[in-house]
Amino acid sequence: MRKRMRLIAGIMAAALVLTACGSGSESGTQEAGTSGTEANGDKMELTVAHYYLEEERQSNAVGDSYLTMLEKWQEENPNVTVTQQAMSQSDYTTKIQAQAAVNEMPDIFMVKGSWVDNFVENDLMAPINDYLDQYEYKDQFKSGVFDVATRDGQIYGMPNQMSLTSIVYYNENLWKEAGYDTFPDNWEDIFAAAKKFEEKGISAFSLGNKDKWPAESCLLSTIGDRYTGQKWTQSIIAKDGTAKLRMIPL
């Protein structure tokens, strides 16, 4: 079982490195593919679970990139039959945790950083250090991208994307009516503008959260990290007891 998991980890490294980097050369692509399956020539069947839907490819650039890379990898590794379990992100969150609870996991899957401890402790993930060390572009990843999936020096996962959480889209006409030719570059003006919008019955800010993850991943975690500092966040991840919560009565 562990031998199969190590081989799966190698394939995952090959597939997700390409997705995360996106600009690897042809020689790098061939090397990644060879490291996983062609070297031993085994016939394999793998199940890959993800939340990138075929019908959303035109509107989801990240999903389209992922599926394109997966298709390319399949072409280069014909001895591997890949079965995809694709579903919406909200459905995925529910299903993958249910599968983990009964130890019926797909061979390759995506997890949130907050799940890593539980999955590693229950032997649901295999380390991929050896395969990453063989990848010639490993040093080109941004510093810290493996931290969330690293435990005791072992890397159990890789980022499939890096997201920006500091972009604001605003209605230029409404902000001009509030007295701002451009979006404010300081909090004082933003707070003042918010009061003007409230007087008109307009919400100053909004965030779509239909899929029940953008608010958590893009807003709350960012605000928390900016307010408390990275040491507090890292303490929560490490569970070292340093970080504290203080309830403030309303």
Residue 208 has a pLDDT of 80
Residue 210 has a pLDDT of 79
Q: Which residues pair with 108 in a beta bridge?
A: 48
The rounded distance, in Å, linking the Cα atoms of 195 and 178 is 10
3-state helix, strand, coil in the chain (%, to 5): 50, 10, 40
CA dihedral 109, 32, 158, 117 (to 10 degrees): 60
For 13-60, give the DSSP string. HHHHHHHHH----HHHHHHHHIIIIITTT--EEEEEEE---GGGTTT-
Residue 98 has a pLDDT of 94
Q: Can you give the residue ranges of every domain in the chain?
A: 2-155
* Residues lower than pLDDT 70 in the chain: 1-41, 163-166, 246-250
How is residue 214 written in tokens?
A: 């953008």
Residue 100 has a pLDDT of 92
pTM over 0.85: no
Amino acid type, 196: K
The CATH classification number of 2-155 equals: 3.40.190.10
Residue 41 has a pLDDT of 61
13-42 per-residue burial string, b: 16 or more CB within 10 A, e: under 16: bbbbbbbbbeebeeebbebbbebbbeeeee
Residue 152 has a pLDDT of 92
Amino acid type, 218: C
